[in-house]
Structure 1
Amino acid sequence: MRDAETRVLNAIDEAETVNLLADLVRVPSVTGTDAESELQHHVAGLLTEAGLDVDVWKFDVEDLRGRDGFPGTEAPRAEAYGVVGVTGGDGVPALALQGHVDVVPTGDLAKWEGSDPFAARIAGDILHGRGACDMKAGLAANLAAVRALRRAGITLERPLAVHCVVSEEDGGLGAFGTLARGHTAEAALITEPTAGTVISACAGALTFRIELAGRAAPGATRLEGVNAIEVFWPVFEAIRRLEAERNRHVPAKFGGNALPYPIEVGTVHAGDWASTVPDLLVAEGRLGVLLDEDPAEARAAFEEAVLSAAHPWLRANPPVVTWPGGQFASGRLPAGHPLLAEVRQAAADTSGVALPESAAPYGSDLRLYAGAGIPTLHYGPGDARYAHAPREQVPIPELLAVTRAVALLAVRRCLPAA
């Protein structure tokens, strides 16, 4: 390795990096809450301390809603902030490191080991807590890498940017607003959890809402009514048939995942009185978008399937499908782009790991950066299967391995060899 590469790796403080992650987890930055904004300002301070020029701004959310390509939101919010730090020379950053500060709600607290999901509990070499995996470990790796650059006294020839965004969990408002602000890069690495792989493509996910009418009647004379729950069942069966059809031919890039394009009904609400036949059912869920599929075509296929459900009542009272909330298209790294080889080499040179390439079944900010012409990958600590669950966790060795690879990648992209 070159002297600058060795210096930056030696400058990574492992204990400090773990403490940094714990501090991030302890901020309960659920999407759309005040704590989300609090953490953005805290991260801005950390970037400033690391010697970066930092842009902090408040989003005009209503203006962003009116722009083409607005990705949708689901969580209510009073405000949103963007944070971008840049260090190095002039011009377009050679690399952007991106991470989101928001986390999903905790769910049933009784299911968490210990009483506080935000306690950042460490057991052995595992750090537990909401956001530990998704994706504060990746955020900590980015911050630790730029701290190491400053500690090593390295002056980059080309700019390095760190993008810290909000609202990734409910659509991507933070990334959308950051790109709308004019922040860009020649390439981007999003340090989402990838479980020891490098992800070069992400499927999409579209939030749907189905409203299905019934006919109210007293429960004692239910034959006079039409139960909206009962007539929803053939709709659900039609959705499952569509899911099977859309997953019939799975790209090899998904590495044996039998269901890379899932369709799931996440909430169902019906009725307003225990002894009344429910006359309205509202179901919401997510529709997986195929790689390279136009989201409009995915919506059309879903609506056709819902309307095909076989029930006499539905012929005269068809379900109504709308598309609120997050709208994640798919996205991928352009074939042959050198970023893939560069990330793999950085991981191999720091940890001796040969990263396999894969695709992810979920939507992410990758598609927004790719859509803006920025070649983008995912590589980060943790396994996404632990995200959004009471068992959320991240292995500390993975956090440190990714930090080393990120730091080396930053030097190689922003301080190229003569």
Structure 2
Amino acid sequence: MADDVTAKSDTSIEKVSRRIEESREELIALTQELIRIPTVNPPGDAYRPCAELVGERLRKQGFSIEYLRAEGALGDSDRYPRTNVVARIEGEGPGETVHFNSHIDVVEAGKGWTFDPFEGTVADGRVYGRGACDMKGGLAASIIAVEALLREGIPFRGAIEISGTVDEESGGYAGVAWLAERGYFSKPRVDHVIIPEPLNVDRVCLGHRGVWWAEVETLGRIAHGSMPFLGVSAIRNMGLFLDLIERELYPELDQRRTQMPVEPEGARNSTLNFNSLHGGQAEGFDGLPSACVADSCRLVLDRRFLIEEPLEQVRGEIEGLLQRLRAEVPDFEYRLRELWSVLPTMTDEDAPVVKALDEEIRRVLGKEPQHIASPGTYDQKHVARIGHLHDCVAYGPGVLDLAHQPDEWVGIDDMVASAKIMAAATLRLTGTLRD
């Protein structure tokens, strides 16, 4: 009996893999269609047409479709409605639900392209365009993967969902976060989530580092620039703070290493980036500046922290340096304003979704899968912290380093391989295939 089950499983996988190979041109065409809808965020262009492209295609395959506008969410407006699409199809009998979540928004094209960023040009085995790897190629691969199961008539248990969500590039609050608050990423509706982010076709991303954004404003007293001794320079006060960070905090961060398998290697340390710095006269004025001592200087901090570092420590290190300066330096005053924070998250390596993807990576690619963590956050944060669903990973085609770059591309062979892996993993996770 066990041999019969194994034989059926092998046959099902072979049929699906063959169907995906036969759908190569369709996969390319779908990726091109998605790229040609310029869903640039900000401001949030063309979300509805892109959601409808996904939804109406899947409706023809038997999915029930919901278009869900995140009314009242950050960024939503009648001009730029934050429209998400969620598609669901029920299997034959009880089983678990596998959800493929892709964001449909892309960053601006920027300069330096040799291809039209919104054409989806095919060249050298690649599809070029803004969002090709991040992550419309992954979305297309997940759709083709599930369509292959349906077209081959392979019975599956449970349910399969595919979503196209908005605003991941600006935090995901009108997308996955908004849906998670309404139960779309929680049990009993969903059991396993795969996010086809571009993290290389042989790697499973288990989670990400934490992030803490804050604005530090040093305060001064305005005076005539020819008599600066009558004022207090907020810029000089900021210089004292920056000097302390350079001399004390940066060397300490360089010594901290995580056990998380973060890639690239340099991101296994704690990091701190100065996102922006503005002091004195406002930028954008074409004339000569006025002769004033700066009474305000603002610095935005982008701190990425490790799973071993408590958020209270991350905050406290910055606050401690500022308090020292206030105690030691006459006329040093500051304001500290927290902008955003997300805790690190990591899915267990033995989680069902990880094991299913690992098994299929070995089978399809003939190599051992690599487990990694991301240096920056992505929508897994909302699935974990709001949906309380921890069987969630990122897996998809594309090279992470190409994201947001000119001439962004996704490899066609990688899309095909990842579709095969996602399709077979779906059968395993729904309980349809047994090892």
* Bin for the TM-score computed over the shorter chain: 0.7 to 0.9
Deviation at 1:92, TM superposition (A): 7.2
Match of 2:192 in 1: 187
Q: Are the counterparts in 2 of residues 267 and 284 from structure 1 also a CA contact under 8 Å?
A: yes
Which residue among 85, 88, 93 is the counterpart of 1:86? 88
Q: Are the counterparts in 1 of residues 76 and 82 from structure 2 also a CA contact under 8 Å?
A: no
Deviation at 1:14, TM superposition (A): 0.9
Q: Are the counterparts in 2 of residues 82 and 166 from structure 1 also a CA contact under 8 Å?
A: yes
Match of 1:375 in 2: 391
Q: Are the counterparts in 1 of residues 353 and 429 from structure 2 also a CA contact under 8 Å?
A: no
- 1:148-173 residue CA offsets vs partner (Å, 9 max, x unmatched): 22222233221111132212122221
Q: 1:144 to 1:243 in 2, by over 3 A?
A: farther
Which residue among 340, 363, 370 is the counterpart of 1:356? 370
Query: 2:60, 2:101 → 1: CA distance?
Result: 18
Deviates more, 1:276-285 or 1:51-60: 276-285
Q: Are the counterparts in 1 of residues 96 and 431 from structure 2 also a CA contact under 8 Å?
A: no
Query: 2:119, 2:322 → 1: CA distance?
Result: 43
Number of residue pairs matched by the alignment: 402
**Aligned residue type for 1:113:** T
- Tell me the secondary structure at the aligned position of residue 333 of structure 2: coil
Deviation at 1:369, TM superposition (A): 1.7
Query: 2:121, 2:142 → 1: CA distance?
Result: 21
**Aligned residue type for 1:411:** L
Query: 1:27, 1:248 → 2: CA distance?
Result: 45
- 1:353-401 residue CA offsets vs partner (Å, 9 max, x unmatched): 3211122211121122233123111111122222223243322222222
Query: 1:91, 1:318 → 2: CA distance?
Result: 63
**Aligned residue type for 2:26:** E
Match of 1:302 in 2: 318
Query: 1:364, 1:394 → 2: CA distance?
Result: 19
Match of 2:4 in 1: none
Q: Are the counterparts in 2 of residues 50 and 150 from structure 1 also a CA contact under 8 Å?
A: yes
Q: 1:396 to 1:58 in 2, by over 3 A?
A: same
TM-score (ref. length: structure 2): 0.83
Deviation at 1:42, TM superposition (A): 2.5
Q: Are the counterparts in 2 of residues 333 and 370 from structure 1 also a CA contact under 8 Å?
A: no
Query: 1:37, 1:59 → 2: CA distance?
Result: 12
- 1:60-113 residue CA offsets vs partner (Å, 9 max, x unmatched): 335xxxxxxxxxx6x675532232211233667432111111122334x3x233
**Aligned residue type for 2:98:** L
Match of 2:99 in 1: 96
Q: 1:256 to 1:166 in 2, by over 3 A?
A: closer
Match of 1:67 in 2: none
TM-score (ref. length: structure 1): 0.86
- Tell me the secondary structure at the aligned position of residue 218 of structure 2: strand
Tell whether 2:211 aligns with 1:205. Answer: yes
Query: 2:308, 2:90 → 1: CA distance?
Result: 35
Match of 2:345 in 1: 331
Q: Are the counterparts in 2 of residues 87 and 156 from structure 1 also a CA contact under 8 Å?
A: no
Query: 2:405, 2:356 → 1: CA distance?
Result: 32
Match of 2:411 in 1: 395
Which residue among 34, 40, 47 is the counterpart of 1:30? 40
Q: 1:124 to 1:224 in 2, by over 3 A?
A: farther
Q: 1:226 to 1:45 in 2, by over 3 A?
A: farther
Deviation at 1:310, TM superposition (A): 8.0
Match of 2:423 in 1: 407
| 1:178-257 equivalent positions in 2, closer than 5 A | 178-183=179-184, 184=186, 185-195=190-200, 196-240=202-246, 241-252=248-259, 253-254=261-262, 257=265
Match of 2:277 in 1: 268
Pair member with larger Rg: 2
Identity of aligned residues (%): 24
Q: 1:247 to 1:85 in 2, by over 3 A?
A: farther
Deviates more, 1:116-125 or 1:347-356: 116-125
Q: 1:255 to 1:167 in 2, by over 3 A?
A: closer
**Aligned residue type for 2:16:** V
Q: 1:323 to 1:130 in 2, by over 3 A?
A: farther
Deviates more, 1:343-352 or 1:248-257: 248-257
**Aligned residue type for 1:99:** S
Deviation at 1:223, TM superposition (A): 4.5
Deviation at 1:293, TM superposition (A): 4.6
Deviates more, 1:179-188 or 1:212-221: 212-221
- Tell me the secondary structure at the aligned position of residue 278 of structure 1: coil
- Tell me the secondary structure at the aligned position of residue 288 of structure 1: strand
Deviation at 1:412, TM superposition (A): 2.1
Q: 1:302 to 1:388 in 2, by over 3 A?
A: farther
